[in-house]
Structure 1
Amino acid sequence: MSNDNGEHPSNTAKDPPAHLTVTLEPGSMSSSNQKTSAPRLPVLNPPGPNTNYLDWEMVVEAYFRHVKVKHVLDTSDIKLRKATWSDDNDLICATILQIIDPANNRYVRPFRTDGRGMWIALAEAHQDTSTGGKVYWIRKLLIARMEGDNIDSHIDTMAKYHERLNALVTPEKPLTPDDVHTAALLGSIPKDWVACVSNLMNQEGIKTATIVSALKNESIRRQSQGDIISVSSTATKPPAKSGNPNNPPKKKFCTMCNLDTHDLNSCHNTRRLIEEHKANRKKRYESKDQPAPSGKSSKPPARAGRTSTATLGASSHSNHNDSDTDYSGSEVEVTAGNAVASLSVSFNPKASGDANLDSGCSMSMTPHLHSIDNPKLDRTPVHLADHSVVESTHKGMSRLPIKGNTSVKTLVVPALHEPLLSIASLCDEDLTVVFTNNSSDIYAASKTQV
């Protein structure tokens, strides 16, 4: 809208005044036979939301009509031109160039000597007569909501929207229900769908049926694109290996490292611990075979001769301060204690190798499944001495290497290197372990004499 506040811009070179006094005198051949008065004409703002084209066009057209030069804007037919057409055309060109913002020069530059061309170019730059232009102002009218309590301001705003829309409606281009339908349709869909009809919005006279057809085509394209992506992703998957669906392949998981990149059989940490354990046992056995120096014992006093009988039960944990520990010791929910002695006979008739007596184990364990009677699947967590956690695979009964048919509950833990015989489990069976300098023996508690 035109600015009538009378304020003067600080820089007239950059900010032209809202109104400009123009003094023009028609030529001798002009249709106006008297000197033109000096009118105050509004300056046309750049195109955009703040354009004042409607007011500017009304004032300037009235001025051209007053000075009898408007016939230049009405027709382009050379046969209908008046004798004063050339002078009147120059007057219009000079006037327009003085009363427009410099931002409008790019629209009129191709029509430097054509007053009618300048007039039409400015109208097209400020008035969007395309389908999108009509839809824009229809939506502004439909979705506008009053803010605050100032009803007068809201009425003025709605009137401006109506004025802008009404300027786009002509007898040749009337406003139809089809335009309202298009505006409502485009306002109801997501923004990413509007892009597919943006080219149609830049054209004039587009029907709603054309908009609907474009939206349906976009829907088909998106569905087909999704199918192509789905087929491509399916084709890249390797074919499933044939096998029994009821027995899927087990996933690799190392209970020592808590990783699923390998299993316990290929674990380097497990291999290193086993090798270190074997080396320590070998050194211990070699030191036992060497003769002790005169006057000195090669074994700690607490184990060499001070205690010859181990009473089973709570007192089995009395040797916590012993430094000679068995690294393969393990536990169920409790840290493994010391392996106080090694049996000189096998763990039971089916097993191979020696079994360690462990005062810290709450249950006997063995890595050999074949040494267990009536094994059942079991997954009991077992905490090793190095603070790692492994799981048992089976649970059953193992026979003790003594006379009779005495058995103890035993877990099968493949991660162990050698069997562990829990002193606590022997206590439950009313047994006693007698230690000597070279070995240890298991007896029934009722028959033991120390």
Structure 2
Amino acid sequence: PSTSKNRLSIPGFEKLTTAGANSNYLDWSLMAKSVLQTEGLLHTITPTEPKDRPSSYKNDCLKVKTFFLCYVEKANYTVLCQCGDDMVAMWNALQSLHLDSSSASKMFWLKSIVTEKMEGDNMDAYLDRVQDMYDHLDLLVTQEKPLRTDDILAAAISLAVLPEWQHVLTALLQCPNITSNEIISALRSEGVRCWTQSITGTEVVTVSKAKVVPPPSHHTSESSGSQSRQPRIGKANAATVQSDNNSSATIDLSDSESAMLVHTTKTVSSMSTSMPMNLDSGCSKSMAPPSKPLTNVQPASTHVTLANNSVIKATATGTTTLPLTVDKSVSMLQVPGLNEPLLSVSDLVDEGLVLEFNDQGCDIRRRGAPEVVGHGVHRNRLFYLEGE
């Protein structure tokens, strides 16, 4: 490197790219440290007491600051400008921007170490490559940010899933300290999304796949104790949609993992504005009955396919605020005759939420954050997000 009065010039030195999955920070930081050490400037990014600093410290910091501004892309300037002339803070800010905010780097080097193979009989070359990968991984593992079993599971899943599923992991791994539960929940939700899209047209929204089952007679359902409930598989939900005539029919969604029963009747009961919203209906788009107020309402003519393959036309689309401790809202179709709101899990995932189902209910968190921002209740084998 050549040195002018206040500037380091390093021919061929690559700039630090924008933070993200394609960041070159690990390589850049190793090179930058080597340059600073060669020039006797490493002390500027190392915490030291003022009394231990050399007389050239202020001028040395100016050189390093100029070096940073010249050899990082402008997308990194935001964090640099907040540090003033404190080079330690500037170095730590760049590290935090590129590493601490993402789980992707640890995953990348974990996968690299596990999948690296020996070429021919050159053991030394193989060990050198693995050692280099280990050194990169070791930079990311600290006492505050240890290597967790969640990181190992995430790497294993990433190696196993097909390429068309990788986008789910890519989005998650930009978050800090992603957990295995969040990864599994996101992949399961994507599975539901793929399933619903596979049975719908481009302009049709489905409730779920089902077969029509003849309803029990009136006297049997009320007077016979041996009458069994319609068989269901997986989760289930009961919703009511208005019929075009006076007849009614029970629709069994036994083909869906997120199954539900839909009853068609002539009368629709009135609901309060704080009606609970079903979390496990298996619908591909969030829907609401006309009795639930929505904001930003616009006319719509989307066709909704019911479980018996009959079609109802949604009359409007709007948004509703979710009863959470954070400000989140989803778009909903307004479907005539629907008796209760149905939330699409995919819609919630798109809003950066993670759902963790258990026997007691459902904990809702923001992606990458530990605190619970909402809770779904488990009632009559169904999961609901209660209204306020």
TM bracket, shorter-chain basis: 0.3 to 0.5
Tell me the TM-score normalised to structure 1 length.
0.36
User: Whose radius of gyration is greater, 1 or 2?
Assistant: 1
TM-score, normalised via structure 2 length = 0.41
More helix by share: 1
The structure in which a higher percent of residues are strand is 2
Relative contact order, higher structure (CA 8 A, sep 6+): 2
